[in-house]
Structures are given as C-alpha cells and as structure tokens.
Amino acid sequence: MMKHYTRILSIAGTDPSAGAGIQADIKTASALGVYCTTAITAIVDQNTLGVRNILPLSAEWVEGQIRAVLDDVGTDAIKIGMLCNKEQISMVAKLIKEYGIRNVVLDPVLASTSGATFLKEEGLRFLLQELIPHVRLVTPNIPEGLHILSGAMSEDDQMEDIARALTSCCGTSVLLKGGHLKDATEKGLTMDMLCDAETGNNITTYTHEYISTPNTHGTGCTLSSAIASYIALNPDMPMCDVVAKAHDYVANAIKAAAEYEIGKGHGPLHHFWNKWN
C-alpha cells in the first residue's frame, strides 16, 4: 500500500531572501509535514530591507502553473497570497470553481510592510466580487481590513466590530490580524480575532506574548500557509481550532527567530523552530 502526502498549493509571489511569499509557504508547509506545490504570480525583487521591483506574470502563465499542479499532483487546500491584477484574480476564481476546491485561504496582500503597493483599487473590488465568495477564510491585517471596508470603519473601532463587519462584507470567515495594534502591544500582547461564518459568526480571540524583534518579515504569508496546511491535515477540524494551531506555530517561529541576525532589515521567521536543535 503506497502512502500519500497531504498537499497544499501556494499561489503567491516570490522572495529571493526567502522570508516571505512562496519561499515562506514552502518552508511552513514542510515544517508541518505537508507537501507544498506552487504557482508563482510575480517575481518580486526584494530582501529584508524592502521591495525593489515586481514583475507580475501574465494570467495565462499563472493559469498554466495552477493547471499543471491540479491536473497531476492535486491538492488538499490552496493558499492564495499576492495577486497583481484583475486578470489574475478572475482566473484564480475561475479555476477554483472549475476544480471544485473548497479549502481556500486568502491572504489579501494589498501592500507590503515597507509600503510597496501590490494591488490597486480596482483589484480590490475584483477580489471582493469574484474571488472572496469562493474562499473559506480571509486573513487581513487591520490596515487591509479597513481598506476592504473602504472607509466605513477606523482604527478607533473595536476589533470585534471590525471583524464582524468584514465577515458580513466578505460573506465568509475572517481572521483579523492585530499584530500592528498599539493598544495590545502596550499590554505586551498581540491579538488576532476570528469571526467564523461557519458557526454563526462565533468570535475566537488568539493572543500571544508580544516579542520585540525586527524579524517579522513574512509573518502574514507564514500564518496563511500554516492555516492552509492544518486544514489540509485536519479537514474536519473546526476553523477556530485550525487557526489556534497555526497561531501557535507562528508565535513559536517569531520567538525562535528573535535570537538570530540575518540581513540588515526585517529578517525572516524561524520556520523550522520545531525541527532544528
């Protein structure tokens, strides 16, 4: 009897310094015992100091890569990161429908921490209209969440109200990431909040100790691919428990990375904190 790998497909941009994007996704899935296939949406010229240049691939080239994976290897879940334009967004939505893939996690990457814009206004509208209806979980940070709500709420609103508004606007579960939140970091904590559309909009809060470290590059990519990996490994587990496992993996990866120096800017997480001595 042959064995089978648990698989995820990452549809995302690259990071030659291997802290974020596809490279982070491959490392995360590998650390969690999951086989990670990839479809590159853009070649991103970046390092720990920031994004220098972006070469988006045509929707046809991204489609070719996704079909190459799904026609052959298949997948148990999909993680979507950087999408560059409406053509890429429509194409990904079309293929998710065509291949009938339900376990899809979308990290709505609108801009990098260093300020580079990845997706313009029109793209955001397309994301909401075409792609998000086919996604099980969306994982915005607070600036991305406020952007999706297009001015209806502000940072002064309660996180729970923002998470609920996003779930209603997206029509699917939302994990709102509060990593940038001043209030929580002053208390020495970071906080994420899940509003689970699959359980009548139940709220679950995830906190961990705030770690003062420059090494947080790729945290969003890592969290969303950890969630996709845990969904693939545990297809019947409630979303609140899946997110708890992913949150714990990321918190430990941030903690372990704080002891390392690599690059001159924001270094990567330690994706293999659970494997290396």
Write out the residues near ligand PXL by the rule CB under 6 A. 12-15, 20-21, 44, 46, 81-82, 109, 112, 220-221
**Minimum separation from the CB atom of position 81 to ligand PXL (A):** 5
Q: Give every CB contact of residue 249 below 8 A, 6+ residues apart in sequence.
A: 28, 31, 32, 226, 274
* DSSP-H helix ranges across the chain: 21-31, 59-70, 86-99, 121-126, 142-148, 159-170, 182-186, 219-233, 239-257
**Minimum separation from the CB atom of position 108 to ligand PXL (A):** 10
Residue closer to ligand PXL by CB (options 12, 146) is 12
CB atoms within 10 A of CB 98: 11
CB of 37 closer than 8 Å to CB of 6: no
Residue closer to ligand PXL by CB (options 70, 119) is 119
CB of 116 closer than 8 Å to CB of 154: no
**Minimum separation from the CB atom of position 200 to ligand PXL (A):** 30
Residue closer to ligand PXL by CB (options 6, 38) is 38
Closest residue to ligand PXL using C-beta atoms: 21
CB of 144 closer than 8 Å to CB of 108: yes
Residue closer to ligand PXL by CB (options 14, 167) is 14
Q: Which residues are part of the catalytic machinery?
A: 177, 216, 218-221
**Minimum separation from the CB atom of position 51 to ligand PXL (A):** 7
